[in-house]
Structure 1
């Protein structure tokens, strides 16, 4: 399989961002983890990130899409590298490191899988970093809850629960990517209003188990992130918000699918459930 140039570009900057991990341990080795050098340590890591961001801005100043793709890939690489550093430390902060790795990998892999298997729909928005304002607020709220509870109620951040959340995140991630791979060019991040020539009704593989496996994976990934952080408040909020989002999304999408495929989709709908809790999808009135 030929790797699209956008995928190669993003992979390069993602791994450059990840090298913050190696720089960190190089500095630890050189300075023997001396606390008096901590400020210099952090300053050098920040300088490394800043230099690379400036390099991208200058190198791709006349190529907007390459610039935006590279900036997002570098950012996600730094987040993944930083998460790895934290994850190798002491619990419960290590749990936040696992979360950063899970979050970074989800967004970066969305872009890479789109580039490899749904190239015609690839855009700078395929990272899904600008998914919505509500998504950003939800993420920030989960970070605030984690650190406030870590300070005031550290005992609720326990590793067995974090491990359950991590497994749920990985399971959801795997399920979503299998769904994207199975659907191929019939998959899109956005609901399609018109039927393309390469848009086919996919009913095999994981789609024989669920009509919307990518949403099932994303739902459990989302819930898993809050179990991973041991965030009881955001766990409730994320579960409800994700459920409501996917309920509306499935209904809207199935209206177009019935329009595209008619009786074929209605038959498929009767045979296969959504596998999202208490979500039946669009029901055509007779």
Structure 2
């Protein structure tokens, strides 16, 4: 693996070290650990600060930027596990959600580093994906906490959350397999100019769906709201994701037909987009006048 992959793996693992709180709380880290073990937030804060100081000493420049983000995601993932283990029962699903969310963003960067390192940037974490993405996330948190306050029992409908986790896992498998199958032909940004070496990928996951990365993300986004047992956001995410990918696929297929011509049109006829009620861009062929 390239250096960036090692850096993000190491920093993510360091961030996960907040789970050492479980050891501290049972007296496994000496007197200081015993004292901090009574204060979860204080322990996690001190630990996170200490790890970031370490990263500042070990890494420089671009590597430090990668490490800070990797550590943040690792710490949040560990925090999610702590919430799912130590918090009141009605908060457990939020901990599961945080784990799923942080693993998604971390794995986006790592998979890009493995499959297409030439396009790897800090944006590959997708932490700054868009304002709409950020607002949607905040709205889903708001729905969770409001409903948990008003109807705490609703957040303990475990089978809905478990279905959500399964859907998220399924979406992740599809998306990451697509990225690793396409390798250098995959890019987080729709390309409007054909790059040297750009091939039309029709094997692996692409034999099942024309746009497997979108299929994976579509189901993953819906699954996150099922984990939270958020009925309103489940509907909203489904509609918003469908609308976004419908427009995105339409535009992308225009460029793909421009890149590959008849070859892509033949592929269109054999393989569907993979998303419900989305056909993609079908060019109109003028009828011959008789």
Q: Name 1:269's counterpart in structure 2.
A: 268
Q: Name 1:71's counterpart in structure 2.
A: 68
Alpha carbons 1:257, 1:265 under 8 Å: kept:
yes
Q: Name 1:234's counterpart in structure 2.
A: 233
User: What are the within-5 Å matches in structure 2 for residues 20-169 of structure 1?
Assistant: 20-21=18-19, 23-30=20-27, 40-57=39-56, 59-60=58-59, 63=61, 65-89=62-86, 91-157=89-155, 158-169=157-168
TM-score normalised by structure 2 residue count: 0.91
Alpha carbons 1:91, 1:159 under 8 Å: kept:
no
CA distance in 2, matches of 1:30, 1:233: 43
Alpha carbons 1:169, 1:222 under 8 Å: kept:
yes
User: What are the within-5 Å matches in structure 2 for residues 185-264 of structure 1?
Assistant: 185-264=184-263
CA distance in 2, matches of 1:179, 1:108: 16
Structure 2: gaps (5+ residues) = 29-34, 286-290
Q: CA deviation at 1:92?
A: 2.9
Structure 1: gaps (5+ residues) = none
- Structure having the higher Rg: 2
Indicate how the Cα distance of structure 1 residues 38 and 8 shifts in structure 2: closer, same or farther if over 3 A, else same. Answer: closer
CA distance in 2, matches of 1:176, 1:276: 13
Alpha carbons 2:21, 2:37 under 8 Å: kept:
no
Q: CA deviation at 1:38?
A: 6.8
User: Residue 39 of structure 2: SS of its match in structure 1?
Assistant: helix
Cα deviation per residue 1:255-277 (whole Å; 9 max; x = unaligned)? 11001100000110111111101
Q: CA deviation at 1:56?
A: 3.3
CA distance in 2, matches of 1:38, 1:148: 29
Alpha carbons 1:182, 1:206 under 8 Å: kept:
yes
Q: Name 1:7's counterpart in structure 2.
A: 5
User: Residue 70 of structure 1: SS of its match in structure 2?
Assistant: helix
Alpha carbons 2:143, 2:233 under 8 Å: kept:
yes
Cα deviation per residue 1:18-61 (whole Å; 9 max; x = unaligned)? 0101x211221029xxxx97763421210111232344346545
Alpha carbons 2:170, 2:216 under 8 Å: kept:
yes
Superposed CA RMSD in Å reads 1.9
Alpha carbons 1:203, 1:268 under 8 Å: kept:
yes
Indicate how the Cα distance of structure 1 residues 19 and 38 shifts in structure 2: closer, same or farther if over 3 A, else same. Answer: closer
CA distance in 2, matches of 1:213, 1:117: 15
TM-score normalised by structure 1 residue count: 0.92
Alpha carbons 1:92, 1:159 under 8 Å: kept:
no
Q: CA deviation at 1:170?
A: 0.5
CA distance in 2, matches of 1:38, 1:141: 32
Alpha carbons 2:222, 2:238 under 8 Å: kept:
yes
Q: CA deviation at 1:198?
A: 2.2
Cα deviation per residue 1:210-246 (whole Å; 9 max; x = unaligned)? 1001100100000000011000111111111111111
Say yes or no: does 1:180 pair with 2:187: no
CA distance in 2, matches of 1:258, 1:240: 27
Q: CA deviation at 1:278?
A: 1.0
Q: CA deviation at 1:100?
A: 0.8
CA distance in 2, matches of 1:75, 1:236: 30
Alpha carbons 2:90, 2:153 under 8 Å: kept:
no
Indicate how the Cα distance of structure 1 residues 274 and 134 shifts in structure 2: closer, same or farther if over 3 A, else same. Answer: same
